[in-house]
Amino acid sequence: MNTNILKQTVLLLFLALLGYTSVNAQSFDPIDEAPHDIVYLRASQVTKPIVKVVYGRPQKIEPQVFGEQVPFNKIWRTGANEATEVKFYKDVVFGSVTIPEGTYVLYTIPGEQEWEVILSTNLDVLGAFQYDPSFDIARITVPVSKAEPIESFSIGFKNKNRNVQMVLGWDTTRVKIPLSINESEAIAGL
């Protein structure tokens, strides 16, 4: 008789634990709904990177992304989920500002004709909720251009005659951030 009570008690505990686990598992909402991407700028396929960008790639859900899905004239994390991080493996000139090698958060303030592009030293932040201008290391303004539509937010690099641009693109909007590498041998292969 004691054996049956013990078996029933163990079974009830197991079922209670199973119910608790499934209820709690259902209560978690995924934070990272957009896929992440990493893009590199390298002098060649076999060299160490010069720049690495880690960012979330949200999808277009509104008829017009900028001005609707992403508001104009408000700080944006420049992607989805955690704020976009940029790692410079060498000193660079970001627009006209010299930036020492290191890791930074990339924020933007989208406008209809131009964007403000901000590098911040405040790392490991979720979105733009924790943006603090006292951590800004650079703030530049770049023009907006138009191109063919892209459904997912994308970041890439465009190299032409040793002039490097970090290109942000989503929907029909393109923003090109000028970068100059301080060491000429680093971009010799570009």
Report pLDDT digits (tens) over 102-150.
999 999 999 999 999 999 999 988 888 889 999 999 999 999 999 999 9
Top-confidence residue, 74 or 2: 74
The pLDDT tens digits for 48-63 are 899 999 999 999 998 8
Domain ranges of the chain: 1-30, 31-187
Tell me the whole-structure pTM to 2 decimals: 0.78
Is the sign of the CA dihedral 99, 101, 102, 106 positive or negative? Answer: positive
Instruction: Work out the number of other CB atoms within 10 angstroms of the CB of residue 19.
Output: 10
DSSP 13: H
Q: 106-120 b/e with 16+ CB inside 10 Å = b?
A: bbbbbeeeebebbbb
Check: CB of residue 107 under 8 Å from CB of residue 131.
yes
- Between 102 and 9, name the one with better pLDDT: 102
Residue 185: band (very low, low, confident or very high) from pLDDT cuts 50, 70, 90: very low
